[in-house]
């Protein structure tokens, strides 16, 4: 499968669970959370369990239009 999922709030409980489930199904996952350290931790755990490059963590504020525009362009 060559699909990507973007999960806003992926660094927190329910979002992290969703990220793991998507990775288990073969999706590459962009873990996005306002707390970048939590997003990075979830991505690191997914990569450890499912293989390097399966997840990437990003810090972003979904309420900020400028941050969302930057995220859509790769960071």
Tell me the pLDDT of the chain (75 aa) as tens digits: 689 999 999 999 999 999 999 999 999 999 999 999 999 999 999 999 999 999 999 998 877 666 666 666 765
Whole-number Å distance between alpha carbons of 12 and 25? 20
Q: What is the CATH number of the domain that holds 10?
A: 3.40.50.720
Domain interval for residue 59: 4-72
Residues ≥6 apart with Cβ < 8 Å to 73:
none
**Backbone phi, psi, residue 57, to 5°:** -100, 135
Tokens of 55: 């997840």
Read off the pTM: 0.85
How many structural domains comprise the chain?
1
């Amino acid at each position: 499968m060559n699909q990507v999922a973007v999960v806003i709030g992926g660094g927190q409980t329910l979002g992290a669970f969703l990220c793991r489930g998507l990775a288990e199904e073969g999706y590459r996952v962009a873990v996005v959370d306002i707390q970048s350290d939590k997003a990075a931790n979830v991505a690191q755990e997914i990569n450890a369990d499912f293989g390097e490059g399966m997840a990437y963590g990003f810090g972003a504020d979904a309420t900020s239009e400028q941050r969302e525009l930057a995220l859509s362009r790769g960071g």
